[in-house]
């Protein structure tokens, strides 16, 4: 759920923070374009890592990198506000690249984990529950941003999203090695 929340919140928080930094839509769009290119480049390597080294080798860095990116976005968005266009672009681009790196590394991980942990019997019911859980993350994400933005700067919503991702990454690091395949079975 935290990974899904981060994926939903990125296209909400990044443009709002970019606008609060004084960037126009061209700069914000360029940041999104560069990050999208990075994510696309990581799809095949992420799948290879997942198959070779197990699900935790992809899911944990995905959550942790996205969390760190959101925290950095909040920090740079706050400290570099009002410092000019160049520093505003840096404040938006660097953390967005970190978020994009994490998101690209996690390409396909959410549904793969659903299949991995689903029981053989009654799999469709379990996957329906899994999708409902993911949907709750998708629905809660903009509500968290809205609730925080009502009373605090948008950077705090980014920090909250980052904290949720870091907590989710820690939980995944502890849980996934016990419940998912650990890597390639070619050598066995």
How confident is the model at residue 183, as a pLDDT?
Answer: 60
Beta-carbon contacts of 31 under 8 Å, excluding residues fewer than 6 positions away, are: 14, 18, 89, 92, 93, 96
Domains of the chain, with CATH numbers? 2-179 (1.20.1250.20)
How confident is the model at residue 185, as a pLDDT?
Answer: 47
Residue ranges in the chain whose pLDDT is less than 50: 185-188
pTM of structure: 0.88
Residue showing tokens 């799809």: 43
């Amino acid at each position: 759920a935290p990974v899904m929340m981060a994926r939903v919140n990125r296209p909400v928080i990044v443009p709002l923070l970019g606008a609060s930094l004084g960037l126009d839509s061209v700069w914000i769009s360029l940041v999104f374009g560069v990050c999208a290119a990075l994510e696309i480049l990581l799809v095949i390597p992420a799948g290879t890592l997942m198959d070779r080294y197990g699900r935790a080798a992809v899911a944990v860095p995905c959550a942790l990198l996205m969390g760190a990116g959101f925290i950095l976005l909040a920090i740079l968005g706050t400290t570099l506000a009002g410092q000019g266009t160049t520093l505003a672009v840096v404040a938006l681009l660097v953390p967005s690249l970190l978020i994009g790196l994490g998101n690209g590394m996690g390409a396909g991980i959410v549904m793969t984990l659903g299949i991995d942990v689903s029981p053989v019997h009654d799999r469709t019911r379990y996957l329906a529950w899994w999708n409902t859980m993911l949907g709750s993350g998708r629905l809660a994400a903009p509500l968290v941003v809205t609730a925080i933005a009502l009373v605090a700067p948008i950077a705090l919503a980014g920090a909250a999203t980052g904290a949720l991702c870091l907590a989710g990454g820690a939980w995944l690091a502890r849980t996934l090695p016990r419940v998912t395949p650990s890597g390639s079975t070619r050598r066995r």
